Chain A
Amino acid sequence: MSDFNTALRENDDVQVIELCGYLDAHTAPQLESAFSDLISKKKYKIVANFEKLKYISSAGLGVFMAFIETIRENNGDIKFASMIPSVYNIFDLLGFPMLYEFFNSEEEAINKFKHN
């Protein structure tokens, strides 16, 4: 049983999406629809909080690649926060720090939006 879920919170104009559980080819469509929802509501400032994410495969990484262009074209961004080391290692292995900003805490990621 793959278990994965997302929860959405709003901090002023920044959307915080919490990822929880296992993100693989089976559960990635759930994250995809969460991002589609945000984009359809024109919410482009997004912090992904990874604190409760235990696992990610390339299907999960692909979701972030799929939406980043639209989001940045609309002056937004997806910022990553609070990853456990084993999850960060996968992003790092593939060079994601070239394209995305990673923060130790959700607060730091939110502040980056506010001070831009």
Chain B
Amino acid sequence: MKTVNPKSYELQVKSTTENLSLIRDFIQNNALKRGVPQHIIDKIILAVDEASTNIIKHAYHSKPDGDIIIQLEFSFDKCRIILIDFGDGFNPSVIPQPDMPEYFEKRKVGGLGLHLIRTLMDYVEYHTDKGGYNQLTIAKKIKNSAA
């Protein structure tokens, strides 16, 4: 068994959509430094953007003074991102996977964020802590040539 120390990075921002570009740059720059292929970085960026947008809109109801903490961690074959907020929690199991033909048939709008996260990432886990925070953990396998 090869042991590689995971490397982790953290970003803390306020809950405004203005910060989405900052969040995307944070993922892009650090993943690139770790040699993650761009097509995988693109998927991680979109998943984290969607998760952050959901936090801003649904956990903080678009109030700009909430905190979002994003931890980014790389191990030899995996990138893991933990998003923490202190707003309202939700139960992801009550949000079904949308049926896309029906979605288009009924010309629905919105609700695609969680579906995208589930589609783009290999692992998704959501947890509301009684201590007053919510934690979304998502992970993606990466082929790291440095490993």
| A, B bound | yes
Interface of A toward B, CB cutoff 8 Å: 1-3, 22, 24-26, 55, 57-59, 61-62, 65-66, 68-69, 86, 90, 93-96, 98-99
Query: 6 A-B pairs, CB-CB below 8 angstroms?
Result: A2-B17, A26-B16, A58-B116, A65-B108, A94-B100, A95-B100
A38 to chain B, nearest CB (A): 18
One of B50-58, B75-83, B84-92, B129-137 at the interface: B50-58
A98 in contact with B100 (CB, 8 Å): yes
User: Which B residues lie within 8 Å of A22 (CB)?
Assistant: 21, 24
A2 in contact with B20 (CB, 8 Å): yes
Query: Taking each of B39, B109, B119, which has the highest tally of chain A beta carbons within 10 Å of its own beta carbon?
Result: B109
Q: Indicate which residue in B42, B103, B107, B113 contacts A69 across the interface (CB closer than 8 Å).
A: B107
Classify chain B: how many residues form its interface, as a range. Answer: 20 to 34
A68 in contact with B21 (CB, 8 Å): no
* Given the contacts A24-B20, A98-B104, A86 and B49 also touching, CB distance less than 8 Å: no
User: Which A residues lie within 8 Å of B11 (CB)?
Assistant: none
B6-26 to A contact mask, C-beta < 8 Å, 1/0: 000000000011101100100
Overall SS of chain B's interface = helix
User: Which A residues lie within 8 Å of B49 (CB)?
Assistant: 24-25, 57
Cα(A99)–Cα(B109), bound, Å: 13
Select from chain B the residue with minimum beta-carbon distance to A3: B21
Cα(A65)–Cα(B103), bound, Å: 10
Say yes or no for B96: interface residue by CB 8 A criterion: no
* Given the contacts A25-B53, A25-B57, A58-B50, A95 and B104 also touching, CB distance less than 8 Å: yes
A62 in contact with B116 (CB, 8 Å): no
User: Which B residues lie within 8 Å of A2 (CB)?
Assistant: 17-18, 20-21
Name 17 extra pairs, CB < 8 A, besides A24-B20, A57-B113, A95-B101: A2-B18, A2-B21, A25-B57, A55-B24, A55-B45, A57-B53, A58-B112, A61-B112, A62-B112, A65-B108, A65-B110, A68-B107, A93-B116, A93-B119, A94-B112, A94-B115, A98-B101
